[in-house]
Amino acid sequence: MTAKLGVSALVVLFLAGLWLVAAPFAVGYQPRGAAYADATVNDLWVGGALAGVSFVAIVIYAADALRELAGRGKHVADG
């Protein structure tokens, strides 16, 4: 149960990071063709960092879960 909650939180954080990257253009406070506003630069850095860190955490969790499953299968086969 705790693992599912943690993975769900990581997925929500990843999606929030993606939204921060897309928001200046989707909402329209960054005019097309204009120099990036300070808010746009902030959203890109914070959103990119949030999405990147949460993606890495999801990959690490998935690798650990696969390693655990492989270990269980090995013990069953040796059984």
The CA-atom distances, in angstroms, between 77 and each of 64, 66, 74 are 20, 16, 5
Residue 45 contacts residue 78 (beta carbons within 8 Å): no
* Amino acid in the structure at residue 68: E
d(CA 54, CA 3): 15
* Amino acid in the structure at residue 9: A
Say yes or no to pLDDT of 65 above 90.
no
What pLDDT score was predicted for residue 47? 97
pLDDT 10s digits, 16-59: 999 999 999 999 888 888 999 999 999 999 999 999 999 999 99
Q: What is the reported pTM?
A: 0.81
Radius of gyration over every alpha carbon of the chain, rounded to an integer in angstroms: 19
